[in-house]
């Protein structure tokens, strides 16, 4: 049933463990694997997806909704919104984050994930290949071979928007959120191979004046979660 990675789900569970149980929106919900885990934690779970027909869980409400437009819920309806593996699949992440702010109560929690395009392996992949592992060129040939091509549902698996740490933080703050903490799904097994290069990057960053490091989020971009992180970044933010 799971359309995401279990390491991401485990991290989301850990993030939400200390949260007060309330009404929670899981979007996009996919087949419902994360929704089941959230329900078992005691949350009142509602789900939304561009393709609600793929949802497989009984007893949880599922509505059709498009994150590029508007989700079918009232203002301030939820205590928590979870968006795992969603923003990279849509054309307009800024609109999605505005929608999350709209349907959340003041003080509500937002948990979102995006592929980590800024870890050391992905930076090198971009340097040598011109693209990252998560965002390969979407050529006509590649689309033709895609398993969802025939039913016109490429959005389910295609990564079309390479959104990273800086963009997510900017959009969160612009939409009235305060970024609380950033997590990684799991450490990449080969990250130790790049230790000399990461040490060089960290040393070089210290030569940048502090005011510029602060203004450009240099320390955050070179944090263990980002520079030496796993495949996915997971953000916890609060609506102000």
Give the chain's largest Cα–Cα span.
56
Is 144 or 89 the better-scoring residue by pLDDT?
89
75 φ/ψ sector (left φ>0, alpha ψ -120 to 50, else beta): beta
CB atoms inside a 10 Å sphere around CB 199: 10
What is the model's pLDDT at position 78? 98
Which sign, positive or negative, has the C-alpha torsion 193, 197, 203, 208? negative
Alpha helices, H only, 92-177: 93-103, 120-129, 140-144, 165-174
Tokens found for residue 206: 């210290």
Q: What is the pTM of this model?
A: 0.92
Of all residues in the chain, what percent carry a pLDDT higher than 90? 80
pLDDT, tens digit, for every residue of 202-222?
999 999 999 999 999 999 999
Q: Using 50, 70 and 90 to split pLDDT, how confident is the model at 1?
A: very low
Measure the CA–CA gap between 212 and 149, rounded to whole angstroms.
45
Tokens found for residue 185: 């799904």
Average confidence score pLDDT of the chain = 91
Residue 111, pLDDT above cutoff 60: yes
What is the model's pLDDT at position 186? 83
Are 116 and 234 a contacting pair, CB within 8 Å? no
Alpha helices, H only, 25-119: 33-40, 93-103
What is the model's pLDDT at position 154? 64
Q: Using 50, 70 and 90 to split pLDDT, how confident is the model at 150?
A: very low
Scored b (16 or more CB within 10 A) or e, 163-186 reads bbbebbbebbeebbbebeebbbbe
Measure the CA–CA gap between 179 and 110, rounded to whole angstroms.
9
**In the chain, where the domains are located:** 6-239
Measure the CA–CA gap between 70 and 4, rounded to whole angstroms.
23
Looking up tokens 């000399």, which residue turns up? 196
- The residue-averaged pLDDT of 154-159 equals 72
Alpha helices, H only, the chain: 6-16, 33-40, 93-103, 120-129, 140-144, 165-174, 195-205, 210-215, 218-221
Judged by average pLDDT, the poorest of 58-62, 147-151, 166-170, 193-197 is 147-151
What is the model's pLDDT at position 205? 95
Of all residues in the chain, what percent carry a pLDDT higher than 70? 93
Judged by average pLDDT, the poorest of 56-60, 85-89, 94-98, 136-140 is 136-140
Parallel, antiparallel, or unpaired: how do β-strands 61-64 and 78-83 relate? unpaired
- The residue-averaged pLDDT of 52-68 equals 95
What is the model's pLDDT at position 61? 96
Are 88 and 134 a contacting pair, CB within 8 Å? yes
Judge: domain 6-239, CATH 3.40.50.150. Answer: yes
- The residue-averaged pLDDT of 62-79 equals 97
């Amino acid at each position: 049933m799971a359309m995401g990675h279990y390491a991401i789900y485990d991290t989301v569970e850990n993030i939400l463990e200390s949260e007060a149980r309330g009404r929670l929106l899981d979007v996009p919900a996919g087949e419902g694997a994360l929704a089941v885990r959230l329900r078992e934690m005691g949350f009142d779970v509602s789900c939304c997806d561009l393709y609600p027909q793929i949802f497989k869980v009984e007893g949880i409400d599922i509505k059709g909704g498009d994150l590029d437009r508007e989700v079918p819920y009232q203002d301030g309806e939820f205590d928590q919104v979870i968006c795992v593996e969603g923003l990279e699949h849509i054309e307009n992440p800024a609109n999605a984050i505005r929608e999350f702010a709209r349907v959340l109560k003041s003080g509500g929690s937002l948990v979102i994930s995006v592929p980590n395009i800024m870890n050391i392996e992905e930076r090198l992949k971009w340097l040598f290949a011109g693209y990252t592992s998560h965002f390969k060129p979407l050529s006509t040939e590649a689309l033709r071979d895609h398993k969802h091509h025939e039913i016109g549902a490429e959005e389910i698996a295609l990564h079309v928007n390479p959104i990273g740490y800086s963009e997510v933080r900017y959009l969160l703050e612009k939409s009235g959120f305060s970024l609380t903490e950033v997590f990684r799904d799991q450490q990449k097994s080969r990250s130790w191979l790049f230790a000399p290069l990461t040490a060089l990057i960290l040393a070089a960053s210290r030569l940048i004046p502090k005011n510029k490091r602060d203004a450009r989020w240099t320390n955050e971009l070179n944090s263990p979660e980002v520079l030496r992180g796993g495949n996915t970044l997971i953000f916890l933010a609060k609506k102000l």
